[in-house]
């Protein structure tokens, strides 16, 4: 009997065991193979997607898109398997070996059962991908060379593209200022050939503007040509087109062999035509950033004010020309005013019915439709043209406005708007498409903080590491690429020129949401769309608290963003945390979250976790299970004590809070060696935390509070180990504590420094920080003017001296000092009574803030020399100071007359009015009369 059992084991069981061991040995190679296959498969999906986009037949296009979605779902499964392997591989990093005995082999397989499951899943997904690819090719064969989305566009698309080239002068609305600018660049200016570029979002009016200016000026040139370039140009085709136009203009025959000339011969022929002539050539719709390489030698420089005019969506196209030509760049960013938009709309909608005048009964709904276009001429013209064909019935137009997003997608005369906008999307590399689609995770008109967006991109894996750069730096480069392509608009910059907040145009946002739906990238779950599609959805945006979420297939969800300020129920939270096991990003910023369930520890894939501005008071100990977590944000919450279990998260790079106490884990902090940013770390009395900081050699951003003088040497020693440190904030625990650091030679990389504490004297080492761009001094109690030490710093952009940082009576800005300073804040300086600015000082200053300086009775002497000053912000200053600069009779008003914005804020009158129970608005009205153009605000 025993022999029979052994025989059966050899015959049936042993081959299975050998096969399993082999699969485990080959697993890393199999994962590498499907990772490579995934890239190729994504290219195939991209080609298939563009075929669907270009298809004119609605029914066939829908069928193609359904098959493309099946391809994407197969790709999603490949991604999930690769991620699953990475997690299990970390748990079992050792290479499988052949076991000597059968029992050892069985025991070995049992310990690798999850990895074995991955191996079998790989076999399944390979078959799935092969079947889906073959099935698509049989039903919708791809051409050998995929036709781009421009290759098969319909008549409406071409009409929209060509309309701006044939628009009459009297039909152009707006653009007065940029028209004057371009006119001047084309006619006046330098003798050398100059490339002038008009850059902007698709449909913003680049071609209309450039063509109008070109028509106005081309008679001032001996030769002129207008060439439409687009995406699929050939260099020979452009050169032949130029030759044809030059010869036609001179009524000459072009060379007989022009159709057979090679590129070099064509260049020589064009140069011959242009030699010793003043010429202007307009290249419309340039996409390739290296386009200038193709035409630069044809455009000879005769030093006679010849000009090249380019329209492009990509700012890089303009800057690439700088390699061999002078350039001028006009970014067409300002939208048409509402009045101009309405006039343009009426020109299209009512030109042949009411002489371009809007009927009174349609005025309100017309304005509503125009506002939805957000100043984009392309949309206004297309929608106005469509409505001109409809009955002028208010009810019908109201229905059209209510369903405008649907109309833009389905109406054959309007969906070309989306196609024109989506051209920029299809021109992006795969990872940049994902970055752009992420703007769909945020509501329309939402200005997202770039730091938040960048960290989410990194957590999602959209950004690949580059040598010598941290991931956030690479991600910021990707954001810049989207901005340079006119797909993302910058809302605000930081003082050092980095993007602070950004957004996308509403019509770009609509396009993104359509692509997100088609690709399964993300889906909203809110009041009006509480059902999730049956296909795979990668990401969720949640605006409601609903138990319906538990029905969503959990294994494919990568990210969840919560946009719900109302309280989230415990039932909802428990089910969500236990359900979404594969999450990479979980963002509760501004959400109504009270408690974090212990089930948080289930989300072992999580890389980004934000509770910012929520209502939580503590973190569960289970957070220590999130071994892949890289970003933890508890700013503006009630979380102050960090559980010691967090030290188990060895991959954590950013730990962000308001004032985080590490008492529970002060001796473990040094083990978190991946940390790059800590905000704000509360120092323990013994200084153990400070000593542990020395082990965090990757730190780039450090903010500490509760610092005491006795810890100075320990802190200096720790900082000496941080060779990448860029931001340092030090707050003392008591106002009489002294910050007295010796020479900090290790801080050569420092860019931002904030010191809040008493200084015996101004630290000499600060003036040696060549890369410092931002400096803030608080409560320093300096008796000597610190400006003498700061005036020569080469890159200083922002200086704040506040809260008794200086206790002297005068500040003196010398000629030539602060050559790059843009922003200066002087606040809460009780003894300061005189500020003098020599001519030649602060020549780049754009903003000056003065707040609560009770002894300062006069505006800074010499402020009239600050020609670049844009904003003068005055808050809670003496009334004699405010009256001295009043527009109506102020004796010093002449000194600030050149400043575009003067803001005066005063909390005193408001508080008095509130105490007396009276309305403060008459005070505001009275002061508006007194100060005229100056903005006055009580608060």
CB atoms within 10 A of CB 785: 16
Cα-trace Rg, the chain: 33
DSSP state of 641: B
Tell me which residue of 675, 738, 748 sits closest to 711, measured CA to CA.
738
Residue 926 pLDDT level (bands cut at 50, 70, 90): very low
Measured between alpha carbons, how far is 260 from 547 in angstroms, rounded to an integer? 70
Average pLDDT over residues 852-859: 93
Helices (H) and strands (E) in the chain, counts: 30, 28
Identify the pLDDT of residue 504. Answer: 92
Q: How confident is the model at residue 734 (pLDDT cuts 50, 70, 90)?
A: confident
In this structure, what are the phi and psi dihedrals at residue 702, rounded to the nearest 5 degrees?
-130, 125
For residue 416, is pLDDT > 90? no
Whether the per-residue pLDDT at 153 is higher than 60: the answer is no
In the block, which residue shows the tokens 């022009």?
258
Could you tell me the pLDDT band of residue 5, with boundaries at 50, 70 and 90?
Answer: very low
User: Whose CA is closest to 512, among 427, 440, 460, 456?
Assistant: 440
pLDDT of residue 927: 45
pTM of the model: 0.84
pLDDT at 937 over 60: no
pLDDT tens digits along 636-669: 999 988 898 998 999 999 999 988 887 777 788 8
CA distance 241 to 226: 9
pLDDT at residue 302 in the model: 85
Instruction: Calculate what percentage of the chain has a pLDDT beyond 90.
Output: 35
Residue 165 pLDDT = 62
Q: Which residue has the tokens 């542990």?
A: 692
pLDDT for 480-511, tens place per residue?
999 988 889 999 999 888 999 999 988 889 88
The side-by-side arrangement of strands in the sheet containing 448-449 is 448-449, 499-503, 489-493
Q: How confident is the model at residue 17 (pLDDT cuts 50, 70, 90)?
A: low
What is the reported pLDDT for 730? 93
* CB burial of residue 124 (10 Å; 0-12, 13-18, 19+): exposed
For 548, counting Cβ atoms within 10 Å of its Cβ (0-12 exposed, 13-18 middle, 19+ buried), the class is: exposed
Q: Does residue 523 carry a pLDDT above 70?
A: yes
A 10 A CB-CB count for 736 gives 11
Exposure pattern of 84-109 as b/e (b: 16+ CB <10 Å)? bbeebeeeeeeebeeeeeeeebeebb
- Residue 607: closest CA among 542, 552, 674: 674
Q: How confident is the model at residue 323 (pLDDT cuts 50, 70, 90)?
A: confident
Q: Residue 384 is encoded by which pair of tokens?
A: 């106005």
Q: Which residue has the higher pLDDT, 335 or 45?
A: 45
Question: Are 512 and 531 contacting, i.e. CB atoms less than 8 angstroms apart?
Answer: no
| DSSP-derived 3-state class of residue 776 | strand
What is the DSSP-derived secondary structure letter of residue 322? G
Q: Which residues pair with 198 in a beta bridge?
A: 311, 330
Asked whether residue 623 carries a pLDDT value surpassing 90, the answer given is: yes
- Pairing of the two strands 774-778 and 752-756: parallel
CB neighbours of 141 closer than 8 A, spacing ≥ 6? none
Is residue 791 within 8 A of residue 817, CB to CB? The reply is yes
Lowest mean pLDDT among 110-124, 255-269, 520-534, 678-692: 520-534
Give the whole-number percent of the chain exceeding pLDDT 70.
Answer: 85
Q: Is pLDDT at 724 greater than 70 in this prediction?
A: yes
Rounded to a whole number, what is the distance in angstroms from the first to the last CA of the chain? 95
For residue range 48-76, what is the model confidence (pLDDT) as tens digits?
Answer: 888 887 777 878 888 888 898 899 889 98
Q: Is the pLDDT of residue 757 over 50?
A: yes
Tell me the average pLDDT across 603-613.
94
Q: What is the pLDDT of residue 391?
A: 82
Give the Cα-Cα-Cα angle 772, 774, 775 (nearest 5 degrees): 100
895: its two tokens: 């000194």
Would you state the pLDDT for residue 169?
A: 58
Q: What's the chain's average pLDDT?
A: 83
H helices of 461-569, where? 471-484, 506-519
Mean pLDDT of 721-750: 86
């Amino acid at each position: 009997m025993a022999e029979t059992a052994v025989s059966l084991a050899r015959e049936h069981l042993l081959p299975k065991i050998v096969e399993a061991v082999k699969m485990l040995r080959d697993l890393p190679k199999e994962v590498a193979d499907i990772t490579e296959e995934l890239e190729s498969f994504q290219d195939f999906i991209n080609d298939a997607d563009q075929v669907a986009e270009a298809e004119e037949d609605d029914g066939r296009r829908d069928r193609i898109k359904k098959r493309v979605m099946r391809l994407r779902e197969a790709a999603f499964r490949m991604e999930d398997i690769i991620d699953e392997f990475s997690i299990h591989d970390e748990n079992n990093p050792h290479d499988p070996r052949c076991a000597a005995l059968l029992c050892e082999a069985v025991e070995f397989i049992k310990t690798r059962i999850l990895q074995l499951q991955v191996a079998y899943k790989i076999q399944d997904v390979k078959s799935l991908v092969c079947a889906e690819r073959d099935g698509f090719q049989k039903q919708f064969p791809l051409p050998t060379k995929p036709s781009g989305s421009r290759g098969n566009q319909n008549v409406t698309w071409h009409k929209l593209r060509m309309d701006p080239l044939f628009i009459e002068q009297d039909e152009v609305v707006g653009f007065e200022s940029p028209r004057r600018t371009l006119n001047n660049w084309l006619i006046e200016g330098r003798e050398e050939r100059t490339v002038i570029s008009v850059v902007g979002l698709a449909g913003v009016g680049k071609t209309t503007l450039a063509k109008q200016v070109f028509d106005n000026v081309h008679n001032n040139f001996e030769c002129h040509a207008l060439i439409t370039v687009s995406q699929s140009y050939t260099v020979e085709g452009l050169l032949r087109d130029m030759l044809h136009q030059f010869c036609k203009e001179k009524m000459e025959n072009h060379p007989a062999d022009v159709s057979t000339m090679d590129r070099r011969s064509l260049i020589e022929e064009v140069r011959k035509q242009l030699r010793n002539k003043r010429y202007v050539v307009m290249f419309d719709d340039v996409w390739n950033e290296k386009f200038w390489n193709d035409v630069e030698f044809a455009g000879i420089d005769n030093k006679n004010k010849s000009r090249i005019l380019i329209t492009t969506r990509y700012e890089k196209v303009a800057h690439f020309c700088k390699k061999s030509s002078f350039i001028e760049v006009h970014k067409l960013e300002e939208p048409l005013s509402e009045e101009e938009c309405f006039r343009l709309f009426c020109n299209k909608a009512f030109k042949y019915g009411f002489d371009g005048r809007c009927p009174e009964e349609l005025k309100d709904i017309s304005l509503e439709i125009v506002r939805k276009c957000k100043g984009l001429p392309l949309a206004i013209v297309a929608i106005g043209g469509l409505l001109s064909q409809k009955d002028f019935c208010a009810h019908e137009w109201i229905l059209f406005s209510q369903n405008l997003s649907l109309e833009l997608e389905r109406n054959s005369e309007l969906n070309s708007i989306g196609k024109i906008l989506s051209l920029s999307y299809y021109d992006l590399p795969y990872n940049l498409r994902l970055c752009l689609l992420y703007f769909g995770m945020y509501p329309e008109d939402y200005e997202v903080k770039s730091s938040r967006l960048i960290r989410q991109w990194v957590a999602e894996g959209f950004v690949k590491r580059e040598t010598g750069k941290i991931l956030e730096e690479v991600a910021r480069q990707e954001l810049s690429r989207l901005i340079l392509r006119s797909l993302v608009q910058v809302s605000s910059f930081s003082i050092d020129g980095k993007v602070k907040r950004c957004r996308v145009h509403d019509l770009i946002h609509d396009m993104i949401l359509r692509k997100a739906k088609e690709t399964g990238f993300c889906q909203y779950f809110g009041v009006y769309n509480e059902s999730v599609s049956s296909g795979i959805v990668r990401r969720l945006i949640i605006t409601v608290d609903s138990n319906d979420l538990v029905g969503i297939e959990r294994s494919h969800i990568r990210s969840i963003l919560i946009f719900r300020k109302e309280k989230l129920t415990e039932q909802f939270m428990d089910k969500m945390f236990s359900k979404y096991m594969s999450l990479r990003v979980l963002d509760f910023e501004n959400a109504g979250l009270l408690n974090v369930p212990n089930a948080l520890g289930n989300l072992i894939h999580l890389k980004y976790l934000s509770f910012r501005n929520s209502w939580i008071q503590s973190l569960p100990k289970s957070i220590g299970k999130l071994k892949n977590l890289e970003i933890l944000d508890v700013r503006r919450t009630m979380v102050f004590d960090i559980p010691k279990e967090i030290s188990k998260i060895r991959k954590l790079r950013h730990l962000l809070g308001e004032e985080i106490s590490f008492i529970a884990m002060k001796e473990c902090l040094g083990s978190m060696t991946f940390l790059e940013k800590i905000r704000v770390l509360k120092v323990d009395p013994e200084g153990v935390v400070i000593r542990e900081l020395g082990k965090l050699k990757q730190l780039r951003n450090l903010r500490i509070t509760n610092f005491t003088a006795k810890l100075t040497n320990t802190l200096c020693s720790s900082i000496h180990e941080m060779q990448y440190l860029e931001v340092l904030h030090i707050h003392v625990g008591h106002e009489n504590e002294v910050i007295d650091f010796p020479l900090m030679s290790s801080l050569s990389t420092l860019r931002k420094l904030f010191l809040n504490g008493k200084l015996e004297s101004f630290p000499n080492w600060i003036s040696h920080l060549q890369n410092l761009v931002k400096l803030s001094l608080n409560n320093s109690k300096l008796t000597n003017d610190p400006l003498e030490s700061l005036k020569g710093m080469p890159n200083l952009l922002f200086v704040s001296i506040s809260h008794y940082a200086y206790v002297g009576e005068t500040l003196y800005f010398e000629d030539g000092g602060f050559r790059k300073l843009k922003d200066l804040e002087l606040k809460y300086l009780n003894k300061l009574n005189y500020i003098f600015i020599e001519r030649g000082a602060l020549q780049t200053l754009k903003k000056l803030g003065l707040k609560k300086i009770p002894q300062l009775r006069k505006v800074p002497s010499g402020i009239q020399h600050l020609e670049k000053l844009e904003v003068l912000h005055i808050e809670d200053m003496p009334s004699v100071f405010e009256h001295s600069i009043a527009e109506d009779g102020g004796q010093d008003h002449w000194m600030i007359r050149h400043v575009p914005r003067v803001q005066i804020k005063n909390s005193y009158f408001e508080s008095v009015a509130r105490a007396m129970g009276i309305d403060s608005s008459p005070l505001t009205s009275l002061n508006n009369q007194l100060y005229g153009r100056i903005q006055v605000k009580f608060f």
